[in-house]
Amino acid sequence: MTILPEPRHPDPADAPVLRWGVLGPGEIARDFTNALHRHTRQRVVAVGSRSEERAAAFAATHGVGRSYGSYEALVGDPEVDVVYVATPHSEHREHALLAIAAGKHVLVEKPLAATAREARDIVDAARAAGVFAMEAMWTRYLPQTDIVRQLLADGSLGEVRVVTADFGGHPPYDPSSRLWNPALAGGALLDLGVYVVSWAFFVLGEPASVIATGSLAPTGVDDQAALVLSTESGAQALLSTTLRAGTPSLASISGAEGRIELESPFWGPSGLRLHTADGAPAAVWRDPYGRPYRDGMSYEAAALARYVTDGLTESPLHSLDETVGTLAVIDEARRRLGAAGVG
């Protein structure tokens, strides 16, 4: 069997310590805070919400020292080094700009914004202010992703021709919820599809063409989409996302000399299999680190802490320009589907 490269990511517990402020104490903020506190030495020291009671309840649950009944008070806290923006997609631009204007570094939940234009506003503001900004595309910082990165860099697969990825779920239909409400930037592509489009960018870079088909929910948001992204060389990414059915959450990369298959869920800590060009098994790797599912968000937090300590203003593994490019593809796919809320 082939010997796979070792992931180069150090233990998240060894990362420098930053003081975090959570802006928007919802479900994803809960899981991020748990991952941070379980697996790193970093701490959430403050939380802000439009509801003082909600902020206080989050603080009490997670051992956070200070809670605020406004986002302005949170970003103004001098003891906060970096703000984690965890509000609905539709609010990301406003809240990221608020934190940046206060001189804070920002980690913004994926997608960075509801459209590429809004994402560019965040990028421009962060660069002008000289603060660190990053989309919370935590898949990029997982150990398995670094193994794939090394295999691509050393040419183990030969010329890459086909990339695949899927991510689908079946949440209850509630027209007022963030997943189904166009006013909250709902839809499959912005919530789940951002993972599969980002995966294609990671492997192939920016596409030359976008083909999209799918369907819309009664509210007008996309509830299912299939995309074909093609490069100038003819390599293609075949991607799917849906809010109408649970899907395997698998991904693969096929080249002239071999194939990588990511196990489920490809977007979280899992594993991978390497095959030769004729399909024979060559190597298997499964995540041994005990940080399952959203506990894997500890890797992105640790990476951000290292980057900030080193004086960087964006991630060398996932540039801000690429983040904007990913949203531009999603914008185009949503336009082709006729989805509501596309700028």
Give the residue extent of every domain in the chain. Answer: 12-137, 139-337
Mean pLDDT of all residues in the chain? 97
Neighbours of 174 (CB within 10 A): 11
If you average pLDDT over residues 117-140, what whole number do you get? Answer: 98
Task: Reply yes or no on whether the pLDDT at 325 is more than 70.
Answer: yes
Q: Judge whether residue 188 has pLDDT over 90.
A: yes
Neighbour-count burial of 30, counting CB atoms closer than 10 A to its CB (0-12 exposed, 13-18 middle, 19+ buried) = middle
Q: What is the pTM of this model?
A: 0.96
Q: Which CATH architecture has domain 12-137?
A: 3-Layer(aba) Sandwich (3.40)
Positive or negative torsion for Cα 32, 185, 75, 116? positive
- Residue 117 pLDDT exceeds 70: yes
Under the banding of pLDDT at 50, 70 and 90, the label for residue 225 is very high
Spatial distance between the Cα atoms of 86 and 243, rounded to a whole number of angstroms: 21
Assigned token pair, 242: 């849906």
Helix 52-62 / helix 27-39 crossing angle, nearest 10 deg: 30
Cβ neighbours for 133, distance < 8 A, ≥ 6 positions apart:
96, 100, 105, 106, 108, 122, 123, 126, 313, 314, 320
Kindly report, residue by residue over 144-171, the tens digit of the pLDDT.
999 999 999 999 999 999 999 999 999 9
Angle in degrees, 0-180, between the axes of helices 320-337 and 194-204, rounded to the nearest 10 = 130
Flag whether pLDDT at 2 surpasses 80.
Answer: no
pLDDT of residue 248: 98
Q: For this structure, is 104 an active site residue?
A: no
Annotated catalytic residue within 66, 105, 110, 140: 110
Can you tell me the distance from the alpha carbon of 341 to that of 33, in angstroms, rounded to the nearest whole number? Answer: 31
**What share of the chain in percent tops pLDDT 90?**
97
Q: Which residue has the tokens 């989805």?
A: 339
pLDDT-derived band at 3, boundaries 50, 70, 90: confident
Stretch among 7-11, 252-256, 264-268, 310-314 having the lowest mean pLDDT: 7-11
Q: Is the peptide bond before 265 cis (omega within 30 degrees of 0)?
A: yes
Kindly state the percentage of the chain with pLDDT values over 70.
99
Say what the pLDDT of residue 1 is: 60
* pLDDT range class, residue 10, cuts 50, 70, 90: confident
Taking residues 259-275, report their average pLDDT: 97
pLDDT digits (tens, 9 = 90+) for 41-80: 999 999 999 999 999 999 999 999 999 999 999 999 999 9
User: Residues 202-213: pLDDT tens digits?
Assistant: 999 999 999 999
Q: Which helix (H) or strand (E) holds 14?
A: none
Residue carrying structure tokens 């309840």: 57
- Selected residue with higher pLDDT from 343 and 226: 226
Find where tokens 């059915």 sit: 245
Query: Is the per-residue pLDDT at 343 higher than 90?
Result: no
What fold characterizes domain 139-337? Dihydrodipicolinate Reductase; domain 2 (3.30.360)
pLDDT score of 39 more than 70: yes
Tens digits of residue pLDDT in 289-303: 999 999 999 999 999
